[in-house]
């Protein structure tokens, strides 16, 4: 007996939705004009949006515009769909963020190159960090998410580059080209 009460309680709770405008509960099923109607995909109750009313844009809750950096509240100074930073502060923030991210990635790459010796193992080239590639000795051991490695922790990245050789771009291309020639 007790178990069925609990089932019925949860069945009733799951059969109710909350209106996004007024916050009242409304049923997920109802009969309208003698037909059973499903309201599971509705956001608003029948009082806020009568059945058959399709335009609900005016019912959505208006967001408050307030810049977290300068305190601006004029909606005209915000980009459409943005509520927390005005256009001016967003531009400043993005420029600063882009510089920080680029610096962090560059520092991570320098650290990885230094970890692997700082020079090409074939020819000894050691000028310019952009000229180095990480070559996986066994492609089967390569992590499938290696392309997104810039988001990894140093420990995870270090474990991955332990499976690699540090090569300059030219030696890396020659190595892959010679592998292709051997296949034919």
- Most trustworthy range by pLDDT among 7-11, 53-57, 65-69, 113-117: 113-117
Q: Measure the CA–CA gap between 112 and 110, rounded to whole angstroms.
A: 5
Contact (Cβ atoms closer than 8 angstroms) between residue 74 and residue 64: no
Helix (H, G, I), strand (E, B) or coil at 175: helix
Predicted TM-score (pTM) of this structure:
0.49
Q: Measure the CA–CA gap between 179 and 184, rounded to whole angstroms.
A: 9
Contact (Cβ atoms closer than 8 angstroms) between residue 32 and residue 56: no
Q: Give the tens place of pLDDT for each residue, 52-106.
A: 666 566 665 567 888 888 888 888 888 877 778 888 888 888 888 888 888 888 8
């Amino acid at each position: 007996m007790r178990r069925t009460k609990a089932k019925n309680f949860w069945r009733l709770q799951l059969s109710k939705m909350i209106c996004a405008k007024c916050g009242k509960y409304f049923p997920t099923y109802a009969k309208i004009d003698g037909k059973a109607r499903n309201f599971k995909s509705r956001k608003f109750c029948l009082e806020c949006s009568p059945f058959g009313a399709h335009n609900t844009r005016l019912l959505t809750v208006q967001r408050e515009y307030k810049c977290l950096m300068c305190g601006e509240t004029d909606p005209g100074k915000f980009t459409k769909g943005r509520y927390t930073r005005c256009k001016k502060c967003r531009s400043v923030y993005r420029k600063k963020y882009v510089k920080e991210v680029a610096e962090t990635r560059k520092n991570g790459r320098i650290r990885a190159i230094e970890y692997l010796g700082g020079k090409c193992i074939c020819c000894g080239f050691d000028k310019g960090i952009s000229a180095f590639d990480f070559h996986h000795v066994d492609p089967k051991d390569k992590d499938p998410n290696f392309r997104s490695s810039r988001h990894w922790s140093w420990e995870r990245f270090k474990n991955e580059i332990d499976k690699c050789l540090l090569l300059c771009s030219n030696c890396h291309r020659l190595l892959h080209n010679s592998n292709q020639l051997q296949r034919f």
